[in-house]
Amino acid sequence: DALSKDGFAHYMLKEIHEQPTAVANTIAGRLYNDQVCKYFIDEPIADILKKVKNIHIIACGTSYHAGLVARYWLEAITQIPTQVEIASEYRYRKPVVPDDTLFLTISQSGETADSLAALRFAKTAGYLSTFAVCNVANSSLDRETDVCFLTHAGPEIGVASTKALTTQLTVLALLTLKLAEIKGVDPAVRTNLAKQLRTLPGIINQSLMLNDQIEVIARQIVRRDHALFLGRGVHYPIALEGALKLKEISYIHAEGYPAGELKHGPLALVDENMPVIAVCPNDELLEKLESNIEEVRARGGELYAFVDHKSKHGLANRVNHLIELEASGSFTSPIVFNVPLQLLSYHVAVLRGTDVDQPRNLAKSVTVE
């Protein structure tokens, strides 16, 4: 039953645990033989996608972070130039819209005032078409956009978004895969991406099993006033999301930073009272990230690293705490690494006694400007 807590202490914890099912439901019927089904992207939609030369993604809050991840995927895999912007900024400037640009809104609720205003502007601005990724059928966004891809996360009650983001990323991954088909990307690459998506629910399940370990580190962070989240590449938006989640529900001041930018400012904040939480998958930026982590270590920062079985070796001697995740493929890795960060914020908030599902001053859906 979507509206009960099913024995969980909070909706947020329930929704975190629903993610394997939510992802499976979001993929169901949309991927077959490693190809994106026509049921999901039919001929008329594919015809629009064939023309796309640029993509403008607009969203707010956690949905904006989904867009930031998608930009890394879309540009790296399909070479389609992609911009991502916060709706409340976009709607008040005068954006240039090149020919054949697709407008894409991401919103859990489909009712966020700034995102809807951006869409209404886009409809007058000469875009090729307007697409959306949304969790609520028949919402204003679903009704007003040309094409809406629904996430099948089920109702999300906790104000801090968890399963909605995971399913948004799942849909955006499917869209990337479809564009890769259209662009004639190497079939071996596409098969690998599809395989990663199919195994995603199982890998998220493994991440959830880290719950008890994460609760232990939450006990160490709970009395801190600040926290710094670091990531690089496609995991940089995951660092931003980790920081957003922590500040939303625990009221600890947190910032997400691209690790390479550390020495341009945030390093000045690092001392033994600053927990630094690093997202460290084994990817092509690992070596760079290791040297960024070394910079933090030299200043006495308390380092928590989320690693996989390959990246852990280079980090074991450099950080205070290692949390090892099941290795996923590099495509779905940001989705997988986000899950333990959700659990971390959750446990810190519970230990601080805040109202986890309804944090002060925030609303589930911001329907006024």
Active site residues: 364
161 binds ligand G6P (CB under 6 A): yes
Residue at shortest CB range from ligand G6P: 61
Interaction pattern, residues 98-137, with ligand G6P; x per rule: CB under 6 A: ---------xxx--x--x----------------------
61 binds ligand G6P (CB under 6 A): yes
> Where does this chain touch ligand G6P (CB under 6 A) — which range of 35-43, 59-67, 198-206, 317-325?
59-67
> Of 108 and 338, which CB lies nearer to ligand G6P in the complex structure?
108
Which of 19, 26, 63, 170 is the binder for ligand G6P (CB under 6 A)?
A: 63
What does the block give as tokens for 113?
């005032």
Which of 159, 280, 307, 343 is the binder for ligand G6P (CB under 6 A)?
A: 159
* Cβ atoms of residues 200 and 23 within 8 Å: yes
> Where does this chain touch ligand G6P (CB under 6 A) — which range of 20-28, 177-185, 250-258, 361-369?
361-369
> Of 12 and 296, which CB lies nearer to ligand G6P in the complex structure?
12
282 binds ligand G6P (CB under 6 A): no
- Min dist CB 118 to ligand G6P, Å, is 11
> Where does this chain touch ligand G6P (CB under 6 A) — which range of 56-64, 120-128, 179-187, 226-234?
56-64
67 binds ligand G6P (CB under 6 A): no
334 binds ligand G6P (CB under 6 A): no
Size of the site for ligand G6P (CB under 6 A): 16
Which of 19, 26, 62, 176 is the binder for ligand G6P (CB under 6 A)?
A: 62
Which of 2, 137, 268, 362 is the binder for ligand G6P (CB under 6 A)?
A: 362
> Of 58 and 278, which CB lies nearer to ligand G6P in the complex structure?
58
> Of 135 and 332, which CB lies nearer to ligand G6P in the complex structure?
135
Residue written as token pair 């309804």: 358
Pairwise CA distance, residues 189 & 301, whole Å: 39
Which of 48, 113, 322, 366 is the binder for ligand G6P (CB under 6 A)?
A: 366
170 binds ligand G6P (CB under 6 A): no
What does the block give as tokens for 58?
């607009």
365 binds ligand G6P (CB under 6 A): yes
Q: Using only the alpha carbons of the chain, give its radius of gyration.
A: 20
3-state secondary structure the chain: CCCCCCCCCCHHHHHHHCHHHHHHHHHCCCEECCEECCCCCCHHHHHHHHHCCEEEEEECHHHHHHHHHHHHHHHHHHCCCEEEEEHHHHCCCCCCCCCCEEEEEEECCCCCHHHHHHHHHHCCCCCCEEEEEECCCCCHHHHHCCEEEECCCCCCCCCCCCHHHHHHHHHHHHHHHHHHHHCCCCHHHHHHHHHHHHHHHHHHHHHHCCHHHHHHHHHHHCCCCEEEEEECHHHHHHHHHHHHHHHHHHCCEEEEEEHHHHHHCHHHHCCCCCEEEEEECCCCCHHHHHHHHHHHHHCCCEEEEEEECCCHHHHCCCCCEEEEECCCCCCCHHHHHHHHHHHHHHHHHHHHCCCCCCCCCCCCCCCCC
> Of 71 and 247, which CB lies nearer to ligand G6P in the complex structure?
247
Pairwise CA distance, residues 300 & 288, whole Å: 19
> Of 239 and 293, which CB lies nearer to ligand G6P in the complex structure?
239
Q: By the criterion CB under 6 A, which residues form the site for ligand G6P?
A: 60-63, 107-109, 112, 115, 159-161, 362, 364-366
